[in-house]
Chains A and B, each alone.
Chain A
Amino acid sequence: MATQGHMHGRIGESIKRKEDGRFLRGRGNYLDDVELPGMLHMAILRSPHAHALVKSVDTAAASAMPGVIAVVTGELMAQHKLAWMPTLSYDTQAVLATDKVRFQGQEVAAVVAETKYQAEDARNAIVVDYDVLPAVTSPQQAKEAGAPLIRDDKENQKDNHIYHWEAGDQETTKAAFAKADKVVRLHTFYPRCHPAPLETCGCIADVNGATGKATIYMTSQAPHAIRTVFALVTGLPEQNIRVISPDIGGGFGNKVPVYPGYVVATAASLLIGRPVKWVEDRTENLISTGYARDFHMTGDLALDKNGKMLALRVHLDSDNGAFFADAQPSKFKAGLFHIVTGSYDIPTAHITADGYYTNKAPGGVAYRCSFRVTEASYLIERLVTNAAIELGMDQAELRMKNFILPEQFPYHSATGWEYDSGDYPKAMNVALDKLGYDDLRKDVAARRKKGEITGIGVASFTEVVGAGHGAEFDILGLRMFDSAELRVHPTGKAMLRMGTKSQGQGHETTFAQIVTEELGIPAADVAVEEGDTDTAPYGLGTYASRSTPVAGAATAMVARKLRDKARKIASHLLEAAEEDLEWENGKFYVKGSPDRAKTIQEIAFAAYTNIPEGMEAGLEGVHYYDPPNMTYPFGTYAVVVDVDKGTGQVKVRRMVAVDDCGVRINPMIVEGQIHGGLTEGFGIAFMELITFDADGNCIGSNFMDYLLPTAWETPHFELGETVTPSPHHPLGAKGVGESATVGSPAAYVNAVIDALSPYGVTNIDMPVTSDKVWSALRGAGVNE
């Protein structure tokens, strides 16, 4: 679809997406579109109770229903040692319940039938006898003496505490607080929300008894890691497992974990000898798959009287649900939360974190969080705005006063990060400029005089992405490198395969552009494939904004390897020494004689037809990239809101977002990512919520209750950019997929707090719904 131009599609060009064709025609190949001969359909029966003993599971009626091939219970799975499986956080998780159910929605049994309608009918005929137990629905409850023990299946588990984790320096922080002129405290809850990609999770497990091969189509953001986990869990030999992630309709971290449905479908296929498809419905997706956040945080910021930040202290309680299944680098129990000093030059900090089991679905690390950076960024940006309000300072000014300055990079933070590059004041200035900040503040003052309720919120986030250097970053021990395999064919076209897996981020275009830049082959001539573990080189997948920093780097490196070989071939073809050759615009030419040149296409042909003596034929290579450091995208977001005095409804009047993700490979795609993240941030700030009643019933288990913004509510976004390349990345690129979801919730909420601050309101927890705003206003005596 892209025009065939010479080197068309270099870095920095907003070429149209190569992958669009099939999606525009309705010919995408999503999981539920795949049909295999003889395929059966599976439906999962889930617990209606948050905490209960399972006394009996009666499958007789279900087994007799039309079209039913098998009914799978926990007991049957236990016979094959598959009733439990490991999580990505070294815990165990029930596949199908045997002793107890530990969250509403937990998998209890499964029906396999000829059609999905029959599977659902039969599922409803399974009779389970439960003895209901009291439910634990918060960390506060979980740690109470005498609280019900949720994980009585674990031998050494005496209570509901999972982990304790610390970062920073307790002593120096304590000393700094002792000397502070001002301490600002914020206790805030970042509620449970859900990535809710439009396509739900599912798989087709095809364990072929005749060939011994298990092919599993799966909505997976990390197919290779899943293949390895499956091999370890099921005992199927890894060379005979093929995981295929087809087109994925959105991931946002929801499609990283291994879900019980995948394991049950695989076991069912193994036992029955036919492919088994399982696609969850929306309720199952919201009630049981990887949710996000659920952090109770208390932050203290110490400042001197001039507003200079001296220290930061944070404690958080994490609600992890019934199984510790965070999908994050294994050395970090609270993800990368300790990036919490953010964009500010804070000399000392101390973070403590405790995780708890509750009777809720497992998960926590998801929804574009960069491994808990969303939580950290939210806390510090809310704290800073509150500090500004308390000090009577402008919130942009307080930030400027404390920003890490460009000359301080690489910057060693108080919690051990080495920020690669940044220019925070510049991004802030671009944002304030775009906003017309000074005039806007005057306008806000004028409107307030007329009795209007209006405010401005600012947030200046620093992200940490690109996991990561193998010695520090691994998932279940698998180091977080990533890979790119590049093959250039005789006719000068290329195929690029990587260990990542796009769920809409445009990899088929962006990564082709890297090859165009480095090797001169036009992007239209580079086919990009991901997701089939039989063909793609091993990688850790796409999440936490890591694809460009890691696999993108691998792509640049492999292209350079091939360029080195191409130089040798060119030298042979041009009968000139390698050092006498220049590379430009996709060809090697002899210095001083530009018409003595060979294009990369000619060189590719020669690699198969006229290779120098002693050199291996072909022009192919692979690179596994171990990033030396993380990358640190950043930005400043600003939001203007108006509040309806009568109803408490909040309207976003303006949303300005200035992002710096280093070098932008395809600016159009980068902006699309930012639009999406700003919208998710908007939803999180104002309407998205999964909550539970006292019995552990999940409220927010369908799209009538779990609210997603439509085009009507979603504001118009004004984007700006600055470019501060990463010094260690081969292309200077940093990754951007999650920046907007990380940085924007605080901007939205800060705007509301700013609007209500004249009335003494200092906090409203998300989602900032109209009734909460109304409560705050009425509490301050404001009425219509």
Chain B
Amino acid sequence: MKVSLKVNGFERTGDVEPRVLLVDFLRTNLRLTGTHIGCDTSSCGACTVLIEGEPVKSCTVLAVQAAGRSITTVEGLAQGANLSPVQVGFHEEHGLQCGFCTPGMMLVGTSLLERNPNPTEDEIRWAISGNICRCTGYMNIVKAIMHAAKLREAAKAEAPGREAATAATGGE
């Protein structure tokens, strides 16, 4: 089946069997390997991508279901050389160790801050409760997202009335 979708702002097409999972389409067909596979029971969230800005498990979506939709993967967070506030937050607060869960965590954080620019620790922990991390114990991931929240606030304060240039959800 031909499938056509927007990934990180670009139209991408492929020809896949209906059974092909979105995560495999991204990794194998589009060679976007930043989205990872960590389990086989939709339990770990390593495969998280954004569909229309909302985080979902791409291992539990068929590529054909995503036809016509707008997908954001981790590769779509940075704007050229400029890391997004969430990416900066993860770096500044040591929010990653092995990095395998990180794309998913950052996408959830990105989506959360769009809806809730000033989340509490509990709200962050709740938002990432579908994403497993084995390395960090979550403490610094929470700090990273809070750090990003502050960066976004600061950027808004610097440019009132203008869309914060550093808020990147990738593409249109």
Contact = CB atoms under 8 A, between A and B. Distances in A.
Contacts of B140: 672, 675
Given A1-B91, A27-B34, A504-B97, A703 B19 contact: no
Interface string A495-522: 0000000011110000000000000000
A716 interface: yes
B91 A16 contact: yes
A408 to B, nearest CB: 33
B43 interface: yes
Nearest to B96: A23
Nearest to A21: B91
Contacts of B65: none
Contacts of A717: 137, 139
A500 to B, nearest CB: 15
B83 A24 contact: yes
Contact of B137 (A248, A250, A678): A678
A144 interface: no
Interface string A698-730: 000011100010111010110000000000000
Given A24-B87, A711-B129, A250 B20 contact: no
B125 A504 contact: no
Interface stretch (B100-108, B151-159, B161-169): B100-108
A680 interface: yes
Most chain B CB atoms below 10 A, which of A22, A504, A674, A710: A710
B139 A675 contact: yes
A35 B135 CA distance: 26
B132 A26 contact: no
B130 interface: yes
A33 interface: yes
Given A282-B39, A703-B43, A26 B75 contact: yes
Contact of B126 (A23, A282, A712): A712
Given A1-B91, A23-B102, A26-B103, A198 B126 contact: no
The prevalent SS among residues of A at the interface is loop
B141 interface: yes
A252 interface: yes
A256 to B, nearest CB: 16
A30 interface: yes
B36 to A, nearest CB: 7
A189 to B, nearest CB: 24
A741 to B, nearest CB: 11
B142 interface: yes
Nearest to B106: A24
A168 interface: no
Nearest to A34: B33
A282 B45 CA distance: 13
A198 B38 contact: yes
A30 B100 contact: yes
B134 A197 contact: yes
B113 interface: no
Contacts of A703: 39, 41, 43-44, 132
A710 to B, nearest CB: 4
A23 B99 CA distance: 5
A596 to B, nearest CB: 40
A28 B99 contact: yes
A198 B141 contact: no
Contacts of A30: 33, 36, 100
A249 B38 CA distance: 10
A758 interface: no
Interface in A373-396: none
Interface in A544-595: none
A504 B33 contact: no
Given A25-B78, A199-B36, A504 B99 contact: yes
A26 B134 contact: no
Interface string B32-57: 11111111110110100000000000
B94 A680 contact: no
Contacts of A23: 96, 99, 102
B32 A672 contact: no
Interface string A185-200: 0000000000011111
A20 interface: yes
A624 B59 CA distance: 45
A319 interface: no
B1 interface: no
A283 B128 CA distance: 23
A668 interface: yes
Interface string A28-48: 101011010000000000000
Nearest to B37: A32
Pick from B19, B40, B90, B125 the residue with the most CB of A within 10 Å: B40
Contacts of B132: 198, 703, 708, 710
A399 B33 CA distance: 51
Interface centre among B34, B41, B83, B134 (most CB of A within 10 A): B134
A28 B100 CA distance: 8
Interface in B117-147: 121, 124-126, 128-142
Given A26-B75, A198-B98, A703-B39, A711 B128 contact: yes
Q: Which of A248, A283, A708, A711 gathers the greatest number of chain B CB atoms within 10 Å?
A: A711
B74 interface: yes
A282 B97 contact: no
Given A26-B34, A282-B38, A676 B43 contact: no
Contacts of B103: 26
A283 B43 CA distance: 12
A322 B92 CA distance: 46
A23 B106 CA distance: 11
Given A197-B134, A704-B41, A668 B94 contact: yes
A714 B124 CA distance: 13
A165 interface: no
Contacts of B20: 117
Nearest to B86: A24
B99 A249 contact: yes
A248 B135 CA distance: 12
Contacts of B27: 32-33
A533 interface: no
Interface string B69-100: 00001110110000100010011101011111
B36 A672 contact: no
B92 A248 contact: no
A716 B43 contact: no
Contact of A199 (B35, B90, B100): B100
A669 interface: yes
Interface of A: 1, 16-17, 20, 22-28, 30, 32-33, 35, 117, 196-200, 247-250, 252, 281-283, 503-506, 668-669, 671-680, 702-704, 708, 710-712, 714, 716-717
11 contacts: A17-B94, A20-B91, A32-B37, A117-B24, A504-B96, A506-B97, A672-B140, A676-B97, A680-B134, A708-B134, A710-B138
